[in-house]
Amino acid sequence: MERTLVILKPGCLQRGLVGEVISRFEKRGLKLVAMKMVQLTDEMLDVHYAHLKEKPFFQWLKDGMMAAPVILCCWEGYSAVQVVRDMAGATRASKAVPGTIRGDYSVSAQENIVHTSDSLENAEIELKRFFVDSDYCDYPSPLNQYKYAPDEM
């Protein structure tokens, strides 16, 4: 099973959409294995968004991510990285199709409700950035037989 990071951004929290977004992942069959609320710092965001450092919107992005706390989530499931990316929709929310999280709840490229890991490699890096081993809760899911084929578990 793969694990991936989802950050529920300040706008998600401020607009009261946390339950809606978490519910979508649960209903899809993903398993929540870690979650915490944090106030991101400038230093944390310099590392997390280092690949965007030269972009003109970099400071706006950081300011938006520090405007309120965020909720960090680790979701687990078969092909979790791609499933979560598909559920989130296009980063530029104005291009996200209806039915996706961004397509239903946002129109902005920056204020787009969620951050999701874009690859399995980045998911592993990002999860280590925000979680330690003791943050994870491993628990059996009796519904796996109804969600996955034997070779997917």
| Residues acting as catalytic residues | 115
Q: Could you give the dihedral angle defined by the CA atoms of residues 11, 14, 15 and 19, in that order, rounded to the nearest 10 degrees?
A: 100
Which residues, in sequence order, are CB contacts of 55 under 8 Å at separation 6+? 61
Secondary structure percentages of the chain, helix, strand, coil, to 5: 45, 20, 35
The SS3 assignment for 75 reads strand
Nearest 5°: the CA angle 107, 5, 63 is 50
Helix (H) or strand (E) holding 23, with range, is: helix 18-28
Please state, in angstroms and rounded to a whole number, the distance separating the CA atoms of residues 146 and 153: 11
The SS3 assignment for 38 reads strand
